[in-house]
Amino acid sequence: MDALIIAAGFGSRLAELSPSKPLTPVAGVPLIEIGVRQAMMAGITRVVVVTGHRADLLEPFLADLSQRAGIEIVPVRLSDWSTPNGHSVLAGSTRCEGNYLLLMADHMFEADILARLLDEGSTDRGVTLAIDRRLDNPLVDPEDATWVRTDEAGRIRAIGKTISPYDAVDCGAFLATPELAVALREAIAAGKSGSLSDGMQVLADKGRAATMDIDDAWWMDVDDPRAHALAEELAQWHLAPTFAAMGDLD
């Protein structure tokens, strides 16, 4: 299965640490490399990365990483990287075959989360989102989080940064089917901006957006200097198998 990693945005809140958010190091390893390695550990055999801001830096790094890690990495450059993240999904999904693991370049996960997510495929859903029901998780920035409201069966009823009430937070990892791109196009045609949440809401309204509860597993969105400092402190503990697998790092 393919993985699609969204890495096109500006990442303004990390700009003081790195000119390229995906290349910002955590424990000495760029975020984008952590994402690729985690996808590989989960069983992914090919990675598509949507680039945009500072693609001139990111794409050569991806070519080198492909050689070092022994996996095909396909860069897809977004011409207008200021557009909402759903446009990155539309661009990258054209290069994915069938279902795919969808990740944000600035998110990190314990390996078990992604491995479990890959087993969630079913014909009764168009997408499955990893969610965290720990609303008091101190690693979640409530000002930046995407919130989720689910029904009794765990299906998404509403998703977005400003919804209320909510009972979970979006972890930034999805098992997507081709239905997600169709839903994004439908949302844009209806006048929406084209955020990933817009497409997810279309699928939710059709009863096609499922969730997977990560229970007490560890994850982080490394989106600002505070989160980066926490990631530097915590990542090597929680991502030990990922770092241990990087035997080809100098």
Instruction: Report the CATH number that the domain containing residue 55 is assigned in CATH.
Output: 3.90.550.10
* 135 SS3 class: coil
In a domain, 109, yes or no: yes
In a domain, 144, yes or no: no
Looking at the DSSP assignment, which residues form a beta bridge with residue 219? 109
Query: Looking at residue 111, what is its pLDDT?
Result: 80
Query: Looking at residue 139, what is its pLDDT?
Result: 92
- Number of domains the chain contains: 1
CA atoms of 246 and 57, how far apart (whole Å): 21
Tokens representing 155?
Answer: 């299906």
In a domain, 132, yes or no: no
Domain of residue 229: give its range. Answer: 2-126+172-180+208-244
In a domain, 134, yes or no: no
In a domain, 58, yes or no: yes
Query: What's the whole-model pTM score?
Result: 0.95
Instruction: Based on DSSP, count helices (H) and strands (E) in the chain, helices before strands.
Output: 8, 13
In a domain, 104, yes or no: yes
Query: Looking at residue 250, what is its pLDDT?
Result: 39
| Block mean pLDDT (10 aa), the chain, length 250 | 95 84 95 96 96 97 97 96 95 96 95 94 96 94 94 97 97 98 98 98 98 96 93 90 68
In a domain, 226, yes or no: yes
Q: What per-residue string of b and e applies to 193-228 under the rule 16 or more CB within 10 Å gives b?
A: ebbbbbbbbbbbeeebbbbbbbeebbbbbbbbeebb
CA atoms of 74 and 248, how far apart (whole Å): 20
In a domain, 45, yes or no: yes
Query: Looking at residue 249, what is its pLDDT?
Result: 41
Query: Looking at residue 247, what is its pLDDT?
Result: 65
Q: What per-residue string of b and e applies to 156-180 under the rule 16 or more CB within 10 Å gives b?
A: bbbbbeeeeebebbbbbbbbbbebb
